[in-house]
Amino acid sequence: MRPPGPLPARWLCLLAGALVCALRPASGWAAGMPREACDYVQRIKMEHRQCLEEAQLENETAGCSKMWDNITCWPATPRGQVVVLACPPIYSLFSPLQGRNVSRSCTDKGWTPLEPGPYPIACGSDDNESNLDSNLDEQQKMFYSSLKTGYTVGYSLSLATLLVATAILSLFRKLRCTRNYIHIHLFMSFILRATSVFIKDLTLFDSGEEDSCAEASAGCKAAVVLFQYCVMANFFWLLVEGLYLHTLLAVSFFSERKYFWGYILIGWGLPSTFTMVWTITKIHFEDYGCWDTIESSLLWWILKAPILTSILVNFILFICIIRILVQKLQPPNVGKSEKSPYSRLAKSTLLLIPLFGVHYTVFAFFPDNFKPEMKLVFELVMGSFQGFVVAVLYCFLNGEVQAELRRKWRRWNLQGILGLGPKYQHPSGGSNGATCNTQVSMLTRVSPGARRSSSFQAEDSLV
């Protein structure tokens, strides 16, 4: 019996996808299954080519010739003998039951059907499985579908509010200062992160291509690389926010312009370096699939280690800043109420949590398999709303931003009523509170201790 010809790529993809769905409903994300299936298709096709090459080198036998059954390569066997093979490696990736075997007999009519039954029964994770679809867990499917809906809503809301917040801080001249420039870069990192998530989902899961498993395209890998870069850049800009605020409170004199370019290198430069190193190593050592399978991969630490380091450093900065705030908020007079300083400290702490990404420390240093469903909800759904929270707290609720918007609104109304030209300046336009520039100039004229105190007051009242 001659070995069968190669299966079309789409049938290989359907086969591997069915195996993934049947054997891994609880340990993988349903949305990621199609691309995971493509990774397994690559392995099956490699084994198929190897089986065909070996079959061409062997001589014809009186028994059964080497055969490929679309999953396993069966060696040439004389009539009357039984061949026993271990279950295919693809099943060992999912099934907790190891050491299982399958067998075929060579008869006068050729190879017999697989024993003790089809692969899902013989090698699957459940002895009661009767077909490839019997192990689909509807509850898990609903959970992952709800999860994707949740983070899609979160990133969409964050994207809309961040775009408006970035426009406000960029267009109004009186809001231009180092602090707001850093906020703008943080907003941009959140915008890029949300955009990369949508691009990745469209590329990996919603392309609708029938033959998408035939070969992982360069565009698919580029989408994953972009996603990894944007995620890391977002974490590093959270770190920059922590470094800047800590510098304001702890350092007496420093050049904001000089430090700002250093922040640019940290926020955008370091992530690009780590991402480039990861991309090069993936090309040379793990260039299969779409690069989105990261489980049990040592190369994943090229990205994970810098992110964990940024989270740890930011948490330390958060503790240091809280310690400084406790000292700054001590009431100067004993007779004053003790409630006000503690309420201000609580307010400042709550404002710093989303800015520093402190909530990521909850699961950051736990193993990946620790409470995976809770971790997914916390990091994907709650994390997707972080950009929205940051935009609201540090732009829309910013007293300086609100004052500038009110001033512009009054000016536009007055121009409409009086029919004045666009060059008309409201006489009270410059008297509505301190601006970024005046605050920064004030900081350079006071003593070091007063500077740190007024720096905190500016951040506490304006962010």
- In the chain, the domains with their CATH numbers are 9-136 (4.10.1240.10), 141-420+427-462 (1.20.1070.10)
Taking the alpha carbons at both ends of the chain, their separation in whole angstroms is 76
pLDDT for the residue numbered 429: 42
Cα–Cα dist 87/103, whole Å: 9
pLDDT for the residue numbered 340: 55
Regarding predicted confidence, which is higher, 239 or 137?
239
Which among 220, 198, 201 is positioned nearest to 39, based on CA atoms? 220
Share of the chain above pLDDT 90, in %: 22
Average confidence (pLDDT) over 220-249 = 91
pTM greater than the 0.85 cutoff? no
Tens of pLDDT, residues 20-44: 433 333 333 333 444 455 566 777 8
Which among 126, 77, 82, 78 is positioned nearest to 102, based on CA atoms? 82
Supply angle C-alpha 8, 12, 17, rounded to 5. 145
pLDDT for the residue numbered 97: 62
Of the spans 112-116, 230-234, 334-338, which averages the highest pLDDT?
A: 230-234
Prior bond to 306 cis, omega within 30?
no
Cα–Cα dist 193/153, whole Å: 14
Cα–Cα dist 288/293, whole Å: 9
Is 204's pLDDT higher than 70? yes
Tens of pLDDT, residues 245-271: 888 888 777 677 778 889 999 999 999
Cα–Cα dist 150/326, whole Å: 37
Average confidence (pLDDT) over 281-304 = 80
Tens of pLDDT, residues 424-454: 454 444 433 344 543 333 333 333 444 444 4
pLDDT for the residue numbered 420: 55
pLDDT for the residue numbered 318: 86
Is 130's pLDDT higher than 70? no
Tell me the three-class secondary structure of the chain, residue by residue. CCCCCCCCHHHHHHHHHHHHHHHCCCCCCHHHHHHHHHHHHHHHHHHHHHHHHHHHHCCCCCCECCEECCCCEECCECCCCEEEEECCHHHHCCCCCCCCEEEEEEECCEECCCECCCHHHHHCCCCCCCCCCCCCCHHHHHHHHHHHHHHHHHHHHHHHHHHHHHHHHHHCHHHCCHHHHHHHHHHHHHHHHHHHHHHHHHHHCCCCCCCCCCCCCHHHHHHHHHHHHHHHHHHHHHHHHHHHHHHHHHCCCCCHHHHHHHHHHHHHHHHHHHHHHHHHHHHHHCCCCCCCCCCCCHHHHHHHHHHHHHHHHHHHHHHHHHHHHHHHCCCCCCCCCCHHHHHHHHHHHHHHHHHHCHHHHHCCCCCCCCCHHHHHHHHHHHHHCHHHHHHHHHHHCCHHHHHHHHHHHHHHHHHHHHCCCCCCCCCCHHHCCCCHHHHHHHHHHCCHHHHHHHHHHHHHHHC
Picking from 63-77, 147-161, 344-358, which range would have the lowest pLDDT averaged per residue? 344-358
Tens of pLDDT, residues 294-352: 655 688 899 999 999 998 998 898 888 888 888 877 666 544 444 555 566 566 666 77
Regarding predicted confidence, which is higher, 174 or 416?
174
Tell me the three-class secondary structure of 347-398, residue by residue. HHHHHHHHHHCHHHHHCCCCCCCCCHHHHHHHHHHHHHCHHHHHHHHHHHCC
Which among 314, 316, 234 is positioned nearest to 267, based on CA atoms? 234
